[in-house]
Amino acid sequence: MKVNKVEGSLSVVKKNVPFKLTETEMELPAELVALFDLYPENTRRPVNKTIFRNEYFKLTYNMNTKDLDVFSRGDIVYSAIPYDTARNYIQHAAIQYLLHPEETREYLNMHKNNLETYIKLSIFQITHKRVNKNSIKFKQAYNAIFQNPLFEIQILGRLLQHDETGPLSANLAGKFLFSENVNTGISEYVYEYLRFVVQLTTTLPITTDGKKVEILKSNLLEKTFAYNRNEKKFLTYQSDINPELILMNQEEKISLERSVIVEKQPLDLRNKPILRSESGKEIAELKKNYIPHSVHPKYTEKYFEKVIPKENTNLLNVVSDIHSLDGKFPFVNKSFNILVGDISNSQVTNEDIKGIYVIGNHELLDILPRNRKVMKNKNFKPFLNTPWFENFLENPDESWYMLPVGDHSFYEVVKFELEKRFPQMSILNNTHVVHDGIRYIGLTIPVALVKRKKEQQQYILKYLNKLLENDYDTPTIIISHAPLFNELSMLSTKSRAYNKDYNCIEPKIEKLFKEYNIIGAIHGHHHIPASAGRSKIVKFGDRELFVVCSIYSSINTGFELMELINPQHSN
């Protein structure tokens, strides 16, 4: 591979280079490592190495986590809307808009009623007047979405966020009205982001779906976003991009194998991006003086249709953190379910669902009788005079750190109550089951006890030794509500919830992972959105393991674990 450094980008001539992954499939090919030398900043950055960059974005490789990521280079502003959390959703929508224009329009049509509701609310927020669908103002606002591809991409991203996290309420006008959106800088950001990823994927063996960035592999067939169809959702140099979308400048077309084009519009599609170097003070003041006015989704859901199907067909369906508030189980799966805790906040009962269930921290509250006097019965009486339980009853949100480690009689009471509500589920309180040749060990870890990690890891070691039963061959998956420790967690180091001290300090645990056929770990608890990825591969105990965290949302009713289990592991 011949690499020539060019101002703002790279020009690469590929000559039948076999981009073969290393044995771990987590390290960069030598061809990409060679690019480190092209960027002087890499000499003073031992961790995050630049591989590719242009004026506004860069691709970096984290030497510690082995992750590839696309970052803005700091000057371009994603959105002038304070606390706008949709960037990853909009980037994902941008890629899918290029790859699957018909499916994305179908998705928007499915949400027509919800989109109309958002537009009416947006108009009300700026005019304080109610409008109906027949008004000229409403029709103009609705039609503007489909006259501008960069704005349509944003709407697609907002609806993806809606389906995953619940209805939006803050700053709706800037998000759903083109007349207000032109001042946010988001269209300009989307333009530059797409320009970069097209340059990137055309130039290097890199692929992205707008969320994940990976080394190009041959088997990129995955579920299309929001659908159960097997189609490619990753942008690569082989992608068949809709030729009617032109987002690239004419001179850039010459240097790329193919380009993304946006059709000429009556309205100017984009201006210069908003830059922090020019507008940073104004944006900081806007954020500083911003008065939050968002509404919790549970109060606004009644105004919106639920569009995503309630039933999924996953064979091994992993889901956690449903937190049902209405006494109902929100989805249907007739196969084998792995419920990873925090399923109910309203004493849900489900007699049909099958599979396994581990205990989360919200189960501890949910199994308590609504009439506290009843707790003097034989099940709860042993705990009534203990300090941790009294504090837990009085102020649970301030008492999680006081919970006993998982080897405690209280959790057997929780298991007993859950078995009555979910009669076809195996409640795994430090026990295991074998299903289709896979051993599932369920450890009770309701919360991450960071300051008591030595005690907790001694408990983990005790039960792993007990439940593995000197069976070194059966493929095994370990499930717990809170992650076992950082090494087997989906939580990003950038998250506010991340604590570097929640690491594995017990070498005998790592030794067990080396000796036994442990293939993966599953957890919940941290409410990691699907847009951040539901699984990853990590190295622990000298073996590669998958880690899964799949929280519930109306768009995500479960993760198909079969995607990660090698066929040779199951019967």
pLDDT digits (tens, 9 = 90+) for 206-223: 888 888 888 876 443 333
SS3 labels along 335-348: CEEEECCCCECCCC
Mean pLDDT across the chain, nearest whole number? Answer: 85
Tens digit of pLDDT for each residue in 383-410?
Answer: 888 999 989 988 998 999 999 999 999 9
Tens digit of pLDDT for each residue in 500-531?
Answer: 999 999 999 999 999 999 999 999 999 988 77
Q: How many CB atoms lie within 10 A of CB 404?
A: 19
Q: CA 458 to CA 464: how far, in whole Å? A: 10
Q: CA 195 to CA 190: how far, in whole Å? A: 8
Q: CA 41 to CA 43: how far, in whole Å? A: 5
Q: How many CB atoms lie within 10 A of CB 500?
A: 8
Which one, of 543, 317, 341, 551, lies nearest residue 442 by Cα?
341
- More confident site: 242 or 6: 242
Residue 273 corresponds to which tokens in the numbers above? 């991006």
Structural domains of the chain, ranges and CATH numbers in brackets = 1-308 (no CATH), 316-564 (3.60.21)
Residue 532: which residues within 8 A CB-CB, separation 6 or more?
88, 211, 490, 492
Which one, of 15, 382, 386, 55, lies nearest residue 192 by Cα?
55
The secondary structure of the chain in percent helix, strand, coil, rounded to multiples of 5, reads 35, 20, 45
- Widest Cα–Cα separation across the chain: 79
pTM: 0.74
- Inter-residue contact 320 to 446 (CB < 8 Å): no
What is residue 211's predicted lDDT score, i.e. its pLDDT? 82
What is residue 217's predicted lDDT score, i.e. its pLDDT? 61
Which one, of 42, 44, 179, 551, lies nearest residue 331 by Cα?
551
Which 3 state secondary structure label does DSSP give 406?
coil
Burial track 371-386 (b if 16+ CB lie within 10 A, e otherwise): eeeeeeeebbeebeee
